[in-house]
Amino acid sequence: MESNRYKSSAVLNTTEDRPPAMRPEKWTGHPGTRAPDLHVLQDGKSISILHLLQSEWTLFSETATWGDLLAQAKESREVTVRAKHIHVGVDVKVPEDAHAFRNAFGVEETGASLVRPDGYVAWRVVDMPSDALSVLVEVLRRASAGERPSL
């Protein structure tokens, strides 16, 4: 079984040199693919990170800076987006593997991944860019104006 990839104006930072469709567990947070099913601890309970999505877009990161930027970009959002910080309120299930989130989502310590409520990655940035606020504002603008994705 191969994983589907969405192509849409609401799927950002995609490139034509992406690898061909693969089994879902082989993807590492590539935009347009299902978000990795990483197990995390929340309130002492082990859950799938996908359970954190509910009905909102979610910006996953390891740094609270992305949450601060999201608050600053508030007026740019036409979609409801919330920030979830790994290791802050949500902890990786295997604490001795501090890089589990990074490895699963294909980001570095300052990177972030924007995941749609249906579990598909809309955008990711490996490291925080120097102009992170303007990048995030543009990402949110494009995501909220996006067309319905097609397979």
Residue 68's pLDDT band, with cuts at 50, 70 and 90, is very high
User: Residues 32-64: pLDDT tens digits?
Assistant: 889 998 889 888 888 999 999 988 899 999 999
- What's the domain count of the chain? 1
Q: Is residue 47 in a domain?
A: yes
Q: Domain of residue 38: give its range.
A: 24-144
State phi, psi for 24 to the nearest 5 degrees.
-55, -35
Residue 23 has a pLDDT of 61
User: Residues 100-147: pLDDT tens digits?
Assistant: 999 999 999 999 999 999 999 999 999 999 999 999 999 988 887 764
Residue 26 has a pLDDT of 65
Q: Write the CATH number for 58.
A: 3.40.30.120
Q: Is residue 42 in a domain?
A: yes
Could you please report the per-residue DSSP string of 40-57? EEETTEEEEGGGGTTTSE
